[in-house]
Structure 1
Amino acid sequence: MITFILNNKTIKTSEHSGMTLLDFVRYEQRLTGTKIGCREGDCGACTILVGTLNKDETISYQSITSCISPLGNAHGKHIVTIEGTNLKNKLTATQEAMKANYATQCGFCTPGFVVALTGFALSYSENNYNNALNAISGNICRCTGYKSIEKAAHQVVEKLKHYNSKTNFKWLIENKFIPEYFESIPKRLKDIEIKDLNQPKGKYVSGGTDLYVQQADHLADNDVHLIAEKEYLKGIAIENGNCTIGTNSTVSDLWNHSKLNSILPNLRTHLKLVSSEQIRNMASLGGNLVNASPIGDMTIFFLALNSTITIINSEGKERTVALKNFYQAYKTYDLNADELLKSIHFKLPNKNAFFNFEKVCKRTHLDIASVNSAIYISVENDTITEAHVSLGGVAAIPKYLHETSAFLTGKSLTSETILEANERLQKEIAPISDVRGSSDYKRLLGRQLFFAHFTELFPKQFTLNDFVQHA
């Protein structure tokens, strides 16, 4: 029995775990403020909040797109739709900001924006304008224009100036951000006897953000093996210069990990290029790897970190594989039917090592790359002692550039070395023409992103002109 709190109501349902949370909310509960838009997680019209009870009995809220989230993942959570944010006979602070700034026209997208901004108010993220815009980066408006919505977000930030997000919900209730019932949710969730759904059959599903785009109808009618709450697949650990990440971790988990951000100071800049906040909150890193997309952002990211992955089978036996050897052909990889990716491991950069991620796509947020690339490079006394380069969108698999990486290792860090490395790079890749660009265009992007790594990491030593005029 799937058990959770939906707004202010405790739900116990025997509905199929694989149906989408959006369909349950709209068709079973008749809460139609949550809209159906793209059904691919792209437009944000179906945005809801998911509250998770922490070990200290506080609740963490995150926004997700309900159109690609399985109902079973709501088990033991607090689910908040636009109806659940409403106050009695008055507008919330977020709704008032949208109204005051004329930030709605047809109104179809408005519930998603309101819920996402309410999630920002409830979140532990720093209260500033950039974070407010991040919160709505996955919401699309088709008619109002974004400036008025951005002004509404700015008004929300101003109203939150005196709020300490580490405290309880009392301030948010008193200042009309959320209704009073939110205060009762931690105890109510604690009192619910949450048992494991124990559904060990069917297709493995974690966040579901890729699978539900492709197979939503199939998953709604067939067995699913939900693994998003499996503890042994969670967590981020840093020890002895190495990082281990459970494959159920999300991009947001990386974003919020303070120690990882101190070691990789540009981490959030890189991660901001990955999808939208709603998707970053729900998509698992393991799912990104086994999706095996040639342009998977986090796959390219981890390939350049020369990561290894631990794989576990149904009997608990584990094996380790280098990620660069995991992919065999298009959507084909070294994983048996009864196996799961358990964790990702990589060596953290030391003071002589540098990491960079680059991406080109048609729009800045929530878009699939035309070409993406990452590099890990260690330099001592102007000599490259270690190099790992990855490139996406230029082959049938996420491409680790074996020959280019090997060529760079041991060479002097000069423009001549980089230009010669690009010649090897061009021989290693085999892009095809498709909707994201022609083969020639992708080769050009591959070259430019490769050069961009060096101009970004060593700006005093290189400019783009050093390479382009000779390439």
Structure 2
Amino acid sequence: MIAFILNNKLIHTHANTSMTLLDFVRYEQRLTGTKIGCREGDCGACSVLVGTLKPDNTIEYHSITSCISPLGNANGKHIVTVEGTNLKNNLTVSQKAMKNNYATQCGFCTPGFVVSLTGFCLSDTEKKQDNALNAISGNICRCTGYKSIEKAANEVCNQLGDKKENTSTEWLIENNFIPDYFKDIPKRLSEIKQEKPTQQNETFVSGGTDLYVQKADSLSEKSIHLISDNSKLKGISIKNNVCTIGAGNVVSDLWNHRELNNYFPNLRKHLKLVSSEQIRNMASLGGNLVNASPIGDMTVFFLALNSSITIIDKNENERNIPLKNFFKNYKIYDLKEGELLKNINFKLPTETSFFNFEKVSKRTHLDIASVNSAIHIITDHQKIKEVHISMGGVAAIPKYLHDTVAFLEGKSLNPELIIEANEILQKEISPISDVRGSSDYKRLLARQLFFTHFTELFPNIFTLNNVIKNG
């Protein structure tokens, strides 16, 4: 049995933990404000908030897409649907902002926008419009047009103001952002007697953002092994210039980590290209690696950092391997039955090293890549001391460019070198034609992204026009 609070109601259920949270909310609880849209986590019509009790007895809320989230991950949490945002005799600030700015037409997507904006109000992020728009980046509207929705988000920001105390639960209740039952949620969650769901199946599921897109129907009828709350797979530590990230951490944990953002000044710019806020709040880093997609954004990211991974078996025996040796063939990797990824380790950038991530997709945001690429390069007086380059969408696996790396190391940075390196790169990749582009198009993208790394990181040496002209 699992137990959680759904809006203002305590739930104890023996429902299959592998069914989707969306189906439980709509069909078991008849809360039909949460809509069924794409069932792939793309449209945001099914958005709900998940509140997790922190050690300081406060609640941290994140928006997720409930259509690809297993019910079992709600255990011990506060789940908020659009019905749970309602006041008794008034509209909330988010609801009123949508109404005032004519930001709804057919209304199908509106509940998801309201939930995501409410999540933004509850978050401790800076209350400016860019962050509000990030919060609704996973919500799609098909008929209204986004300007009115942007105006609604801006109105919410104006109502919040810029004072830190304006994010307290008490202030949000007093000013009609959330209903008053929210103030009792920490105490009520702490009193729930949690029983861990039976974990017997070897189908491990963390966030479910890929598995539930592929086979939600079949998974919903089986027992699964939920690992999203496994504390042994969590945590981010930095010691002796080495970062260790638990495989159970989600992408948003990197987004919110202040120290990592200092080491990677463009980290949020890079991560914004990785799906939507809802998915970043769910998608585990280990899941992205074992999904073994040839275009996995975080896989390409960590390959360029020359990461190693720690693998643990059911007896807690550990082994470490370089990530670039993990992938064997399409969807085939070095992971034995019963083994899990425990963590990811990499050396952090220094004053003489540089990192960049690039991605091209049909849409700038909320889309999978046609080709993506990352580079980590260490220089010494314009000489390449060490370099690591990865690329996705150009082979059957996420590709670490061994030959290109070997060619570049030890040489001086100049446009002619990069042109020659591209010739090595083109021999090293083998893209295929598919719905994301022809093989020729992907080769062109590979060249352009490779050039872009150097024009971004070393603008005083390279300009794109100069590189292309010399090439």
Same fold flag (TM > 0.5): yes
Paired position in structure 1 for 2:79: 79
The structural deviation recorded for 1:98 is 0.2
In the alignment, the residues of structure 1 paired with residue 162 and residue 206 of structure 2 have an alpha-carbon distance, to the nearest angstrom, of: 37
Structure 2 residue matching 1:52: 3-state secondary structure: strand
Is 1:56 aligned with 2:56? yes
Match runs of 1:148-187 below 5 Å: 148-164=148-164, 168-187=168-187
Paired position in structure 2 for 1:407: 407
Structure 2, unmatched stretches of 5+, are none
In the alignment, the residues of structure 2 paired with residue 248 and residue 43 of structure 1 have an alpha-carbon distance, to the nearest angstrom, of: 25
Paired position in structure 2 for 1:44: 44
CA contact (8 A) 1:124 1:166 kept: no
Is 1:133 aligned with 2:148? no
Match runs of 1:212-361 below 5 Å: 212-361=212-361
Superposed CA deviations along residues 265-294 of structure 1, whole A, max 9, x for unmatched, are 111110000000000001100000000000
In the alignment, the residues of structure 1 paired with residue 293 and residue 397 of structure 2 have an alpha-carbon distance, to the nearest angstrom, of: 7
CA contact (8 A) 2:243 2:345 kept: yes
Structure 2 residue matching 1:342: 3-state secondary structure: strand
CA contact (8 A) 2:122 2:167 kept: no
In the alignment, the residues of structure 2 paired with residue 315 and residue 243 of structure 1 have an alpha-carbon distance, to the nearest angstrom, of: 25
In the alignment, the residues of structure 1 paired with residue 127 and residue 296 of structure 2 have an alpha-carbon distance, to the nearest angstrom, of: 30
In the alignment, the residues of structure 2 paired with residue 367 and residue 290 of structure 1 have an alpha-carbon distance, to the nearest angstrom, of: 19
CA contact (8 A) 1:247 1:343 kept: yes
The structural deviation recorded for 1:167 is 5.6
Structure 2 residue matching 1:243: 3-state secondary structure: strand
Structure 1 residue matching 2:184: 3-state secondary structure: helix
Superposed CA deviations along residues 137-191 of structure 1, whole A, max 9, x for unmatched, are 0000000000000000000011111542686301101111100000000000011
Residue identity matched to 1:235: G
CA contact (8 A) 1:163 1:171 kept: no
Paired position in structure 2 for 1:209: 209
Residue identity matched to 1:293: S
Count of residue correspondences: 471
TM-score (norm. length: structure 1): 0.99
Superposed CA deviations along residues 99-150 of structure 1, whole A, max 9, x for unmatched, are 0000000000000000000000001111111000000000000000000000
In the alignment, the residues of structure 2 paired with residue 148 and residue 306 of structure 1 have an alpha-carbon distance, to the nearest angstrom, of: 44
Structure 2 residue matching 1:139: 3-state secondary structure: coil
Structure 1 residue matching 2:265: 3-state secondary structure: coil
Structure 2 residue matching 1:221: 3-state secondary structure: coil
CA contact (8 A) 2:273 2:364 kept: yes
Is 1:26 aligned with 2:20? no
Which deviates further from its counterpart, 165-174 or 252-261?
165-174
The structural deviation recorded for 1:466 is 1.6
Structure 2 residue matching 1:469: 3-state secondary structure: helix
Superposed CA deviations along residues 308-365 of structure 1, whole A, max 9, x for unmatched, are 0000001110000100010000000000111000000000011100000000001111
In the alignment, the residues of structure 2 paired with residue 194 and residue 403 of structure 1 have an alpha-carbon distance, to the nearest angstrom, of: 52
Structure 2 residue matching 1:377: 3-state secondary structure: strand
In the alignment, the residues of structure 1 paired with residue 15 and residue 150 of structure 2 have an alpha-carbon distance, to the nearest angstrom, of: 39
The structural deviation recorded for 1:226 is 0.2
Residue identity matched to 1:224: I
TM-score (norm. length: structure 2): 0.99
Paired position in structure 2 for 1:145: 145
Residue identity matched to 1:322: P
Structure 2 residue matching 1:182: 3-state secondary structure: helix
Which deviates further from its counterpart, 125-134 or 16-25?
125-134
In the alignment, the residues of structure 2 paired with residue 268 and residue 158 of structure 1 have an alpha-carbon distance, to the nearest angstrom, of: 24
Structure 1 residue matching 2:43: 3-state secondary structure: coil
CA contact (8 A) 1:123 1:165 kept: no
Match runs of 1:341-420 below 5 Å: 341-420=341-420
CA contact (8 A) 2:123 2:167 kept: no
TM superposition outliers: structure 1 runs of 4+ over 4 Å: none
Q: Give the CA RMSD over aligned residues.
A: 0.9
In the alignment, the residues of structure 1 paired with residue 461 and residue 108 of structure 2 have an alpha-carbon distance, to the nearest angstrom, of: 51
CA contact (8 A) 1:122 1:165 kept: no
In the alignment, the residues of structure 1 paired with residue 166 and residue 338 of structure 2 have an alpha-carbon distance, to the nearest angstrom, of: 42
Structure 1, unmatched stretches of 5+, are none
Superposed CA deviations along residues 80-113 of structure 1, whole A, max 9, x for unmatched, are 0000000012110000000000000000000000
Superposed CA deviations along residues 4-42 of structure 1, whole A, max 9, x for unmatched, are 000000000000000000000000000000000000000
CA contact (8 A) 1:202 1:222 kept: no
Residue identity matched to 1:27: Y
